[in-house]
Structure 1
Amino acid sequence: MTDWQKSSTSGNSNQCVEVRTAAGRIEIRESDAPESIVTTTPTKFALWLEGVKRGEFDHFTHS
């Protein structure tokens, strides 16, 4: 199990997404709610990141 990692652009903020690997899986949590952990596979996580980079989820952040 690796340590939780957050984006370097988060600075010292406690409101960010953190990620780590554990037993061949990817775990994701919000730093301000560390008890809630989402688990996925490395393949699914990589596909999601590709979608984020392409802007597929931008409509969720715009009102």
Structure 2
Amino acid sequence: MTSSAWQKSSYSGSSNACVEVRTANAAIELRESDESDVIVRTTPHKFADFLQGAKAGEFDHLIADA
């Protein structure tokens, strides 16, 4: 399996509680840094659609008010 290194968002700062992403073969893999044995795999196209929706605010209702 050809995989790139795990990357986390620069918004995470020094926190270890973050989502990490990498490419693995033709897939995109995601995991939580504190639950590194649980990995979600998807296609680059589906991941791009998800990111576009997140940027557009489609999932804002799932976030509790701070």
* TM-score, normalised by the number of residues in structure 2: 0.92
**Where do 1:2-17 residues align within 5 Å?**
2-17=4-19
Q: How many residues align?
A: 63
2:41 maps to amino acid: T
Q: Structure 1 residue runs of 4+, over 6 Å off?
A: none
Partner of 1:56: 58
Q: Which runs of 5+ in 1 are unaligned?
A: none
Q: Which structure features the higher share of strand residues?
A: 1
Alignment identity in percent? 60
Q: Which residue identity lines up with residue 49 of structure 1 in the other structure?
A: L
Aligned-residue Cα RMSD (Å) equals: 0.8
Listed as ranges, the gaps of 5+ residues in structure 2 are: none
Kindly provide the amino acid, as one letter, of the partner of residue 41 in structure 1. T
1:1-60 Cα deviation digits (max 9, x unpaired): 100000011011110000000011000000010000000000000000000000000011
Letter in 1 for 2:20: E
